[in-house]
Amino acid sequence: MMPRSLPKKLRDALGQQGALPRAHAAAGLLEVRGARAVTVPGGTRSGAALHSTDLEAGATRPAGWRAGPEGHRAEAPLPVLFRLRESGGRSARSTGALAGSGASAAGGPVRHVPVLVRSVVDVLGVRADGVYVDGTFGAGGYSRAILETPGARVVAIDRDRSAVALGADLVAASGGRLTLFEERFSSLDDVAARAGFPSVQGVVLDLGVSSMQLDTAERGFSFRLDGPLDMRMGGDGPSAAEVVAAASERDLAAIISTLGEERFARPIARSIVRARASAPIATTQALADIITRVVHPRPGVIHPATRTFQALRIFVNEELWELAAALSAAERILAPGGRLAVVSFHSLEDRIVKSFLTDRGRTSGVSRHRPDVEQPAPTFRILTKRPLLPSDAESEANPRARSAKLRAAERTDAPARPGDAPALPRLPPLADVLKGR
């Protein structure tokens, strides 16, 4: 139940999971250019105010990689607060994994419904005097849930300009408790510091793409909707079409094999290179057709284009590097006792989170393998020995929730370990791939 003590405006916004039409109207009033924050300062104004900022991703790139998990189910059915209320809207949920979505093929983007939201709020242990970074604002499901605790503040981030614009209503209704930035979560510590919070009580990441991104044909994420082969979450950087046009056959195969875990990566890469010699591969449909000529669709098996689309999306958005940098940033900004919660949707992401937390949670002392090296003190205490999974009810109501895994940990008072970022799969950098090598 939503607390009656909340101001009506905030109660309305919290209950308004399907607020897109109003938010679109609000977005018409907003100019969103470059990195900027949407906030209502001091809680004294009722309208949204925009503040331009010059936030730059400041972290450095890690390199290298490893392992994989199992988990147990632990989420109560979604509370009423998070069900869609407005008529005419169709619901969909988080997905970080599948590029194909059938949910809205008949007509426009669906609204995003958060996955594992109650478990996330529980593991964060949201407090009235706490400040929380929501690194993946999306449709604001997690931010809304955190703001349900009166007094709690949220610094929210999304690299997608349209997500930030659509969040304006919630910002306006938050009484100054929500600040929203168009930024990358790799610099979440800088963003929070510039919002006035050099340390915070919680950081949450809900990885992957939102339903709105996946189900908007023009964004080019889905092989089920024909659109330009784009796949960029933010407005910057090269598109998937540019990567597909320029990458060598060897690089394409490495990307598809590593980031899509696709066993037919080599024949798919060969077929892409052959096809682009006669015409540019500019649309999602064109790429899906090329793939299905090599790997035939079979009933009961995921669509043959799924893994290649996932791989290109992860590569174009540098998603694994973003994640590794965000984990280190969370380590730097979390106060002792602060909590980190990460919801991932495929094994590549989950491996990075798991190996980071295992490494940071290892108790100090002398390593059996390197007796000459003193282990640094653990910076995190792991709260989820095995990842939390959605309940059967949530997975049944929302097939997209099925692959979700939540891992959480509590920050200790040991100093952060600068320059010691999680290892990543070895792949050529985006800039080199574009040169065709």
Ligand X SMILES: C[S@@+](CC[C@H](N)C(=O)[O-])C[C@H]1O[C@@H](n2cnc3c(N)ncnc32)[C@H](O)[C@@H]1O
Binding site for ligand X (CB under 6 A): 94, 112, 114, 136, 138-142, 157-160, 163, 184-185, 206, 208-210, 233, 322
The burial of 270, by beta-carbon neighbours within 10 Å (0-12 exposed, 13-18 middle, 19 or more buried), is given as middle
Which is nearer to ligand X, 237 or 267 (by Cβ)?
237
Q: Cβ(133)–Cβ(202) under 8 Å?
A: yes
Smallest separation (angstroms) from ligand X to the CB of 143: 8
Smallest separation (angstroms) from ligand X to the CB of 141: 2
Q: Cβ(90)–Cβ(398) under 8 Å?
A: no
Which is nearer to ligand X, 378 or 390 (by Cβ)?
390
Which is nearer to ligand X, 228 or 376 (by Cβ)?
228
Helix (H) or strand (E) segment spanning residue 11: helix 8-14
Amino acid at 203: V
Which is nearer to ligand X, 229 or 290 (by Cβ)?
229
CA-to-CA dists, residue 24 to 165, 288, 352, 368, angstroms: 8, 31, 36, 58
Smallest separation (angstroms) from ligand X to the CB of 371: 39
CA-to-CA dists, residue 389 to 160, 250, 344, 402, angstroms: 27, 37, 10, 8
DSSP single-letter state for residue 415: P
Which is nearer to ligand X, 207 or 269 (by Cβ)?
207
Which is nearer to ligand X, 118 or 159 (by Cβ)?
159
d(CA 419, CA 138) in angstroms, rounded, equals 29
Only one residue has tokens 């094994």, namely 347
Per DSSP, the residues of 171-184 read HHHTTT-EEEEES-
